[in-house]
Homo-oligomer: A and B are copies of this chain.
Amino acid sequence: MEFMTGVKEKETLELSELLEEGRLGEEVKVNGAVHTIRDMGTVAFVILRKREGLVQCVYEEGVTKFNLKDLREAATVEVTGKLTESEKAPNGIEIRLSEIKVLSMPKDSLPLAVSKWKLNTSLEAKLNYRSISLRNVRERAKFKIQEGIVRGFREFLYKEGFTEIHTPKIGAKGAEGGSNLFRLDYFHRPAVLEQSPQLYKQMMVGVFDRVFETGPVFRAEKHNTKRHLNEYTSLDFEMGYIDSFEDIMAMETGFLQYTMELLKKDYAKELKILDVTLPDVSKIPAIRFDEAKQKVSEKYGRKIRNPFDLEPEEEHLIGQYAKEEWDSDFVFVTYYPSKKRPFYAMDDPQDEKFTLSFDLLFRGLEITTGGQRIHDYDMLMEKLAKRGMTEEGLETYLDTFKHGMPPHGGLGIGMERLTMQLLGEDNVRETTLFPRDLSRLTP
């Protein structure tokens, strides 16, 4: 019997500890994966990959008590040596090795040259060898930045009085309805995977006023494009006591402002690795859907084919328009047509063909859909009837509105898409850890 008393002190040092003042000249112990070995004869440079970055180690024949032939790339090791200054090494330091202890040896050579600065391979190969390709420092950095986005979302919303919730992903009915549902057998009852936490977060507005969730959503869409996934992480919030749907856009703007600052502060290293310039989010223009279509048609000579829908190319042009006219990478497009929005969307009392809703475009791609929801029971039942929908599977959701709900609205942000646009990638799979699409179910 023994007692656990908290995190164990480690003898081995992390990169940030090596960089602490006063460490130079010390004998240090460091572990890591062998990223690359540059053998110069009697001297060799062994670069270790650690979570915070690369560490250069210098092997010297006769000095380092180890036979270099027994080391290979992708081995994991614990090394001991003297920490010294080195202008040319990453972070300006290197370790002059006295000892190398091998923790594990690879069985095969790597299928990808992960130690290259740019991983020069196809997207297919990157995804097929996901656990290897992400060992590349640039590939890995994308997902650190993605962490920062999600962290920013949560930290900002906590600060704004939101409560985090965890809603079920297996349900009886999808929030958006339609055919884009994955179906499964739930102990001999038909069930679906939720397309969105929509109905749950609305119900929780009556409890916590403001709620958010970061979790997976599932869409059985048969699209096979560069911007669609069949499973993605949705950053959702819903807030009560709004004066108008502008409150929601204002909150999203606040989230973006907070998150860009957080990235600048805590993810500067990764931004530099990927050479990312953060967009200015001090003010984001908002333009009506119909007006945006009109403006784009006029400026770029594109005919309006369907006044009630935005084609991907039109979205792209609205992005271009926002950049040219207001020097903004983001633009809110407001008052979407009712027929393109789900039953719970609040119609504009001024013109019921449109809704009190919006999309946020980032460099011409939709990354958010949001808006005000119907909070009146009778209005909700009317809308359901008009759409020919039944109450089945929605009973508790609908009942909630019989018992008093504040005016409210919210949004959902596609985490992978936001990351993709921020990093200037051209395929959402580049910023998805393990994508699920029409053809991809593994790894």
Contacts and interface: CB of A to CB of B under 8 A. Distances in A.
Interface string A350-367: 000000000000000000
A183 B182 contact: no
Interface string A18-34: 00000000000001011
A132 interface: yes
Nearest to A442: B172
B184 A163 contact: no
Nearest to A52: B161
A182 B182 contact: no
Contacts of A405: 76, 104
B207 A397 contact: no
A396 B8 contact: no
A243 to B, nearest CB: 8
Interface stretch (A36-44, A84-92, A283-291, A341-349): A283-291
Interface string A392-410: 0101110111111111000
B287 A206 contact: no
Interface in A130-147: 130-132, 134-135, 140, 143-144, 146-147
A136 to B, nearest CB: 9
A434 B104 contact: no
Contacts of A193: 170, 184, 193
Nearest to A222: B187
Given A183-B184, A216-B169, A104 B443 contact: no
Nearest to A330: B4
Interface stretch (A61-69, A251-259, A297-305, A421-429): A251-259
Interface stretch (A117-125, A308-316, A374-382): A374-382
A3 B284 contact: yes
A191 B395 CA distance: 30
Interface string A158-175: 101101111111111000
B170 A150 contact: no
A75 interface: yes
Given A134-B204, A187-B438, A284-B4, A396 B443 contact: yes
Given A51-B163, A184-B184, A253-B4, A406 B131 contact: no
A242 to B, nearest CB: 9
A104 B404 contact: yes
Given A144-B163, A441-B172, A108 B51 contact: no
A14 interface: yes
A396 B170 contact: no
27 contacts: A3-B285, A4-B284, A5-B253, A5-B283, A7-B160, A7-B254, A74-B403, A78-B241, A105-B404, A106-B403, A107-B402, A108-B403, A128-B396, A130-B396, A131-B203, A131-B397, A150-B166, A165-B433, A166-B216, A166-B233, A167-B433, A168-B433, A170-B193, A171-B441, A172-B442, A393-B442, A396-B442
Given A143-B208, A186-B441, 9 more contacts: A7-B250, A75-B404, A107-B402, A131-B204, A131-B400, A131-B403, A170-B436, A182-B185, A183-B185
Interface of A: 1-8, 12, 14, 31, 33-34, 50-52, 74-76, 78, 103-108, 110-111, 128-132, 134-135, 140, 143-144, 146-147, 150-151, 154, 158, 160-161, 163-172, 182-187, 189, 191, 193, 200, 203-204, 206-210, 215-216, 218, 220, 222, 230-231, 233, 240-241, 243, 246-247, 249-254, 257, 282-287, 291, 332, 375-378, 393, 395-397, 399-407, 415, 433-436, 438, 441-443
